Amino acid sequence: SVQVVGDNLVKSEAPDAETKMDQGYCLSRHNNGMAQSPINILTFDADKYKSRNIPIRFNTKIVAVENLGHTIQVDFAGGSECDADGRSYTSKQFHFHTPSEHMIDGMTFPLEMHIVNVLMDSNNKEKPSYLVVAILFKMGKENKLLSEFLGHVPKEESEKDSLPSGTANINDLSPRVLNGTVGNSFYSYDGSLTTAPFTERVHWVILKQIVEASPDQIIAIGKMEGNNARHIQDIYGRKVATARIE
């Protein structure tokens, strides 16, 4: 992320915004880049570009939840990993956007979750590459994963609360969503982080399955973080592919 000092942007190392001033929707619509995120995914176009099946598997442990003011962030323990398409990533954290940042055929969802992973063998450590897995939520039944940590979110901004071992598990998000479940399908494209500095070294995976969370859960997250969704960006000829998890 960056800090705003006068008219200058000062880079930091975190892969997401740290303050409300750094939220994408508060900044300019475009960042002079041609591969910015989020985008509106047109399903009839995406289905034209089918990629091969890709294995995605997580080996993570949740250890803390943070109230960053602009978002709720849940942290993975050191050594947490994600393997995707033969590449190994360090799984850092997941956080939320209310409403969703990505659209599907022009439709916005009330909540979007981003699982942020950093490529382990990035040649330039100062400019790492990312895999971000996005999950879209609709209102429905109470979500088990959200219920495991929402009660632990600190009331005060910039505070962190450790979670006892086993309190929350990424696999409780929804049955058959993650970890190589055969038949799960997703959209994929190359884009950027949706918060400053809007780094254009992100491979996005947006799961087609829409996950349920209760109205109370979604409203609670929205009250804590507000509207932190960046505006839709131009696609500039990029292709969105569809694939299935092996």
The Cα 131–Cα 86 span in angstroms is 13
Tracing tokens 């939840």 back to the chain, one arrives at 65
Is there a contact between 209 and 216 (Cβ–Cβ < 8 Å)?
no
Cβ-count burial 24-61 (b if 16+ within 10 Å, e if not): bbbbeeebeeebbbbbbbeeeebeeeeeeebebebebb
Phi, psi at residue 65, to the nearest 5°? -130, 140
Q: Catalogue the active-site residues.
A: 70
Residue 44 amino acid letter:
F
Give alpha helix (H) positions in the chain.
43-46, 144-149, 215-225
3-state DSSP call for residue 242? strand
CA distance readout (Å), 196 to 12, 52, 69, 143, 199: 10, 32, 16, 30, 8
**Cross-strand partners of 241:** 188
